[in-house]
Amino acid sequence: MRKKKILYHSNYHKLFTGFGKNAKNILKYLYKSGKYEIVELANGKAYNDPILDKSPWKSVGSLPQPDKRIPPEEKNAPEFQRRVSYGAYGVDEIVEAEKPDIYIGAEDIWAFDGLDKRKWWKKLSTILWTTIDSLPILPTANSLAPTCNHFLTWASFASNEMRKNGHKNTETLFGTVNCEDFFPLEDSVKKGLRARQGIQEDEFLIGFVFRNQLRKSVPNLLDGYKAFLSRNPNSKARLLLHTHWTEGWDIPRLLKEKEISPNLVLTTYFCASCKQYEIRPFSGQKQNCRFCGAQNSQETTNIINGVDESQLNEIYNLLDVYCHPFTSGGMEIPIFEAKLCNLITLVTNYSCGEDSCGEESAGLPLEWSEYREPGTQFIKATTCAKSICEKLEFVFNLPLSEKKSLENKAREYVLSNYAVDVVAKTLESMIDNLPFCSWDFDMKEELRDPSYIPPSNIERDVDFIMDIYKNILKLDLSKKDSGVVYWQNEIRNGKTRHDLVSIFKNIAHKENQDLQKKDFKDFLDQDDEGRRIALVVPGDESDVLLANALIKNLKNKHPDYNLYFITQPSLFPLVDSNPFIHKCIPYLNEFEDILSLEGSGGHKGFFDIAFSPFLLKKYNTYSHNGLLN
Residue 135: closest CA among 158, 113, 154: 158
Residue 599 has pLDDT above 50, yes or no: yes
C-beta of residue 347 within 8 angstroms of C-beta of residue 324: yes
Q: What is the 3-state secondary structure (H, E, C) of 148-185?
A: CCEEEECCHHHHHHHHHCCCCCEEECCCCECCCCCCCC
365-379, 388-402, 563-577: lowest mean pLDDT where?
A: 563-577
- The pLDDT score that the predictor gives to residue 474 is 85
Q: Which of 598, 621, 453 has its CA nearest to residue 537?
A: 621
Class in CATH terms, 4-176+427-432: alpha beta
In this structure, which amino acid lies at residue 504?
F
Residue 28: count other Cβ atoms within 10 Å of its Cβ. 17
pLDDT class of 614 with cuts at 50, 70, 90: low
Q: Are 563 and 550 in contact (CB under 8 A)?
A: no
HSE value, Cβ hemisphere, 13 Å, CA-based, for 5: 17
- A 10 A CB-CB count for 483 gives 19
Whether 118 shows a pLDDT value over 90: the answer reads no
Contact between 31 and 65 (Cβ < 8 Å)? no
| Helices and strands: H and E segment counts in the chain | 19, 21
Within its chain, how far is the Cα of 84 from the centroid? 6
The per-residue pLDDT for range 251-283, each reduced to its tens digit, is 999 999 999 999 999 999 999 999 999 999 999
pTM for the whole structure: 0.70
Q: How does 484-493 read in b/e, with b if 16+ C-beta sit within 10 Å?
A: bbbbbebbee
Q: Are residues 282 and 262 in contact, defined by beta-carbon separation less than 8 angstroms?
A: yes
Q: Is the pLDDT of residue 615 over 60?
A: no
Confidence check: pLDDT of 628 > 60: no
Find out whether 474 and 509 touch, Cβ atoms under 8 Å: no
Per-residue confidence (pLDDT) for residue 519, from 0 to 100: 63
Span of 80-94, 338-352, 547-561, 612-626 with lowest mean pLDDT:
612-626
Overall average pLDDT of the 37-59 stretch: 94
Q: Which fold has domain 187-417?
A: Rossmann fold (3.40.50)
Cβ neighbours, 10 Å, residue 309: 14
pLDDT digits (tens, 9 = 90+) for 505-539: 988 887 787 666 666 677 788 888 878 998 888 87
Could you give phi then psi for residue 479, rounded to 5 degrees?
Answer: -65, -25
Question: Is a pLDDT exceeding 60 seen at residue 616?
Answer: no
C-alpha 143: how far from chain center: 18
Ranges of each domain in the chain: 4-176+427-432, 187-417, 461-515, 520-626
As a whole number, mean pLDDT of residues 307-333 equals 96
Q: pLDDT-derived band of residue 295, with 50, 70 and 90 as boundaries?
A: very high
> Residues 528-581: pLDDT tens digits?
887 899 888 887 778 888 888 888 988 998 899 999 998 877 677 678 778 999
pLDDT of residue 620: 46
pLDDT of res. 435:
95
Residue 596 belongs to what H/E stretch? helix 594-598
The pLDDT assigned to 338 comes to 98
The whole-number pLDDT of residue 69 equals 67
Q: 3-state class of 612 per DSSP?
A: coil
Residue 122 has what pLDDT?
A: 86
Helices 497-515 + 461-471 axis angle, to 10: 20
Low-confidence winner among 152-166, 253-267, 429-443, 615-629 (lowest mean pLDDT):
615-629
- The tens digit of pLDDT for each residue in 212-225 reads 999 999 999 999 99
Report the C-alpha dihedral over residues 407, 362, 367, 379, rounded to 10 degrees. Answer: 120
Per-residue DSSP letter, 448: P
Interacting residues of 618 by C-beta distance below 8 A, sequence separation 6+: 592
Whether pLDDT at 627 is above 70: no
Percent composition of the chain: helix, strand, coil (DSSP 3-state, to 5):
40, 15, 45
**pLDDT over 60 (residue 617):** no
User: pLDDT tens, 69-79?
Assistant: 676 667 777 88
Average pLDDT over residues 458-483: 88
CA gap 555, 404 in Å, rounded: 98
pLDDT at 570: 65
Report the C-alpha gap between 199 and 185 in whole angstroms.
Answer: 16
Pairing of strands 298-300, 265-271: antiparallel
pLDDT of 186 reads 97
* Correct CATH for 520-626 of 3.30.160, 3.40.50, 3.20.20, 3.10.530: 3.40.50
State residue 541 phi and psi, 5-degree precision: -60, -40
User: How sure is the predictor about 296, in pLDDT bands with cuts at 50, 70 and 90?
Assistant: very high
- The string of DSSP codes covering 41-54 is EEETS-TT-GGGGG
Task: Report the pLDDT value the prediction gives residue 8, as an integer from 0 to 100.
Answer: 98
CA distance 347 to 357: 6
Give the mean model confidence (pLDDT) for residues 307-315.
96
What per-residue confidence (pLDDT) applies to 520? 67
Whole-number average pLDDT of the chain: 90
Q: Residue 618 has what pLDDT?
A: 44
Q: One fold for both 4-176+427-432 and 187-417?
A: yes
CB 594 within 8 A of CB 616: no
